[in-house]
Amino acid sequence: MRARVEDFGAWVRLDDRTLVAVDRRRAAALGLAGPWSGPQPPDIRGPTAPLEAHVAITERCPLSCAGCYQPTRVDGAHASLDRLRATLDEVRAAGAFMVAFGGGEPLTHPDLPALAREARARDLVPVVTTSGIGLTAERARALTHFAQVNVSYDGATSELRASETVAVAERAIAALVAAGVTVGVNVVLTRRSVVALEDTCARAAALGAVEAQLLRYKPEGRARSLDYLERRLSPAQVAELPALLRRIVDRGALSLRVDCALVPLLSFADPAALDALAVMGCEAGNALTARTLEGRVAPCSFTRELEPAALTGFAEAPEEPCASCPIQRVCRGGCKVVSTHLEGRVGPDPECPRVIAHRSPA
């Protein structure tokens, strides 16, 4: 067990997959002591420091996927192991519980297996996302120190990746499962990929994946172009999204997670349904932090050019309709990458159905 004391009590990590918040009484029962005074806070206002850190370890990748949010190159640079060790020390000292390694393609980094061991030595839970390209059975067995390896797998209808990457991803999933590694899939939702989402999730489960992480297509990196407008979900697909996710959950083939940027697109869903899906809104600079390849701190992997103060300021003093939205505390105003790209500022997510309705003429 590892814990971090907060004003409300403590965050407690029980194992690789379980992080819970406990009140002061339960924290004291676990032998934790905090500088507590006054009555127990009525609820949890959020972490005082990030719970998870995303760390870029390379900008090298042999692919040139249309929707990649990173400035990758076939000859991109790797972060050195010494610098990454220092970054892990900083992440641990800041109180995070999990570290997610990314790229570029992390498999191109020669020290990837060692990074998992370095994270474990600091009592951090390591995870990584890969396209699967270059993954052999031997290399899969070298990744057993990771709590989970997520494979990018958008399905056969995706326009973001070359068609041959579907087979590459499926072979990688199979190799990781055979090596005893827990596997999830990252599915980027676009106008084309969402049509086959149920089949994509079913296929991933059949290959042995235990979880699907659904990611909103965001205008960052190569996706920061006019093509973004054609590839983002249509209004009709957004309206259907809650029911679609419910059907996948009800099938029970694998667990489902949605990234924080998808929460505003679910804003008209029943709040109880959002609780059932265990969603969290914008985590940038709140529950989440990121480290760029150069070691610079950023609110999240997609907000390298945004100052943390801009995100915090909007979350603390949101505009309408966010200010009176019933899920504002969860959503935190939606994806700041989208609002910055489409409107040139941090503000209400312009693709949120509630924002669209609020701005539409009566």
User: What is the separation, in whole angstroms, between the first and last Cα of the chain?
Assistant: 54
Tens of pLDDT, residues 42-101: 877 778 899 999 999 999 999 888 878 887 899 999 999 999 999 999 999 999 999 999
Q: Distance (Å, rounded) from C-alpha 271 to C-alpha 294? A: 40
pTM: 0.93
With contact defined as beta carbons under 8 Å apart, do 343 and 350 qualify? yes
Rounded mean pLDDT, 16-38:
92
Distances (CA, A) of 96 to 149, 289, 307, 328: 19, 9, 20, 25
Tokens of 7: 């004003």
Q: What is the DSSP string of 208-234?
A: T--EEEEEE--S-GGG-STHHHHHSPP
Q: What is the pLDDT of residue 273?
A: 66
Domain ranges of the chain: 1-48, 52-306
With contact defined as beta carbons under 8 Å apart, do 187 and 155 qualify? yes
Q: What pLDDT band is residue 277 in, cutting at 50, 70 and 90?
A: low
Q: Distance (Å, rounded) from C-alpha 157 to C-alpha 188? A: 11
Percent of the chain topping pLDDT 90: 69
Q: What pLDDT band is residue 135 in, cutting at 50, 70 and 90?
A: very high
Give buried/exposed letters for 176-203 (b at 16+ CB in 10 A, else e). bbebebbbbbbbbbbbbbbebbeebbbb
With contact defined as beta carbons under 8 Å apart, do 87 and 122 qualify? no
Tokens of 18: 């379980």
Q: Could you tell me which residues are beta bridge partners of residue 22?
A: 10
Backbone angles phi, psi at 155, to 5 degrees: 90, 175
CB atoms within 10 A of CB 343: 12
More confident residue, 266 or 107: 107
Rounded mean pLDDT, 310-315:
71
With contact defined as beta carbons under 8 Å apart, do 1 and 13 qualify? yes
With contact defined as beta carbons under 8 Å apart, do 105 and 62 qualify? yes
Q: What is the pLDDT of residue 329?
A: 78
Fold of 52-306: TIM Barrel (3.20.20)
